[in-house]
Amino acid sequence: MSKTRPARSQGKKTLTMAFIGAGGIANAHLSALKNFVDVRVIGLSDVAMPPMEEKADEYGIPRENLFTDYKKMLRKLKPDAVNVCTPNGLHAPASIAALKAGAHVIVEKPMALNAKEAKAMIAAAKAAKKKLCIGFQYRFDPKTVFLKRLVDDGVMGDIRFGRVQALRRRGIPNWGVFGRKELQGGGPMIDIGVHVLEMCHYTMGSPRPVAAVGMTDTYLGNKPSKRVASNWAGWDYKTYTVEDLAIGHIRFEDGAVIHVEASFAAHHEHNGTMDFQIMGTKGGAKWGASEVFTDQNGYMMNMTPAYVGNMKGFGTYFNLKLRDFVDHCLYDKPTIIAAEQGLMVQQMLDAIYESADKGGAEVLIK
């Protein structure tokens, strides 16, 4: 496994950063950035002022640098970088506005509501000559690093198949706007499926997707949850317009295939599953247990490394992805969360949803 980059400064440079979207996932970003001596968070923008005031006091942000209009914040503060932590529907307009204002941008996953918006974001970054990164934190998981190294070193041969699972038995979010398609673009496929899909695609070497078929279904989320006990009971079923279950099958330019399953609510044996498996011409592997399957000395071998590293809490993911982004901006280091790969993931999501809308017909990706 590659060495973890330190959270300490590698020089005397400082990156000023502002946030568009200060609720929910922004908490994890702000907590991680407290340890970065080369980053100074100078402003927050959100639709609600009271939560921002609490965060400003906690993280030492001047209250005069809190805005309900992010465009006004960009004009007044002129940050070096912007962290976009809004609902999905605002990812593209907020990112494009920040790029046009001269800021580098890191935006939470998924990159946008659709590939058209993602392309516009990339075009804006190129026009402004600024960096644009996507919040794919699971690429930094030691298990992902381990499998990616095996693939890159040729241990697996050519990867021909990937199976992706992001399954909750009864895990419909009862907060935020995760059940509203007009604001999120979809349900479990675009919210949690994207994480495992992007990990698998990245591990396989990021081949170009060319076609997909898909299926979505809603049968639990749009009904009351009172009769079934669950950790997240009480979601707003009256505004629930996304899928409970989504299935996708993606073909790539090199002939490889990914099969992806994602659910907020599905009748399967585990309360939550997040895993992927790859199969190549020389070997295969499973992400969750870091298991490797190959032939050795005339025998079929199942192997598990003694140690690949571990993540010390969920916040570690944000330390690593933000360190990658800051190093990319301040020190021009390469990034593993580039926008171009975010676009390919978005194209896969779009094609799965479009195919589902067309009754499962194959959709070509251009």
This prediction's pTM: 0.92
Three-class secondary structure of residue 75 per DSSP? helix
Of 151, 163, 164, 145, give the one whose Cα is nearest residue 283: 151
Q: Provide the pLDDT for residue 6.
A: 39
Q: Is the pLDDT of residue 314 over 90?
A: no
What would the mean pLDDT of 21-32 be, rounded to a whole number?
Answer: 94
Q: Provide the pLDDT for residue 12.
A: 67
What would the mean pLDDT of 199-208 be, rounded to a whole number?
Answer: 98
Radius of gyration of the chain (CA): 21
Question: What does the pLDDT look like over 333-343, one tens digit per residue?
Answer: 999 999 999 99
Task: Calculate ∠ Cα 335-118-180, nearest 5°.
Answer: 115
Q: Which residue stretches of 168-283 are H helix?
A: 181-184, 188, 194-203
Q: Provide the pLDDT for residue 143.
A: 97
Element (H, E) at 145: helix 142-152
Q: How confident is the model at residue 311 (pLDDT cuts 50, 70, 90)?
A: confident
Euclidean distance between CA atoms 339 and 110, whole angstroms: 11
Task: Give the percent of the chain with pLDDT over 70.
Answer: 96
Q: How confident is the model at residue 230 (pLDDT cuts 50, 70, 90)?
A: confident
Q: How confident is the model at residue 224 (pLDDT cuts 50, 70, 90)?
A: confident
Domains plus CATH for the chain? 15-138+318-338 (3.40.50.720), 142-311+344-364 (3.30.360.10)
Q: Provide the pLDDT for residue 309.
A: 92
Q: If you average pLDDT over every residue of the chain, what do you get? A: 94
Residue 110, preceding bond cis, omega within 30 degrees?
yes
Euclidean distance between CA atoms 120 and 25, whole angstroms: 24
Question: What does the pLDDT look like over 118-131, one tens digit per residue?
Answer: 999 999 999 999 99
Q: How many Å from the N-terminal Cα to the C-terminal Cα in the chain? A: 35
Question: What does the pLDDT look like over 211-221, one tens digit per residue?
Answer: 999 999 999 99
Asked if residues 105 and 81 have their Cβ atoms less than 8 Å apart, the reply is yes
Question: What does the pLDDT look like over 55-83, one tens digit per residue?
Answer: 999 999 999 999 999 999 999 999 999 99
What would the mean pLDDT of 8-28 be, rounded to a whole number?
Answer: 84
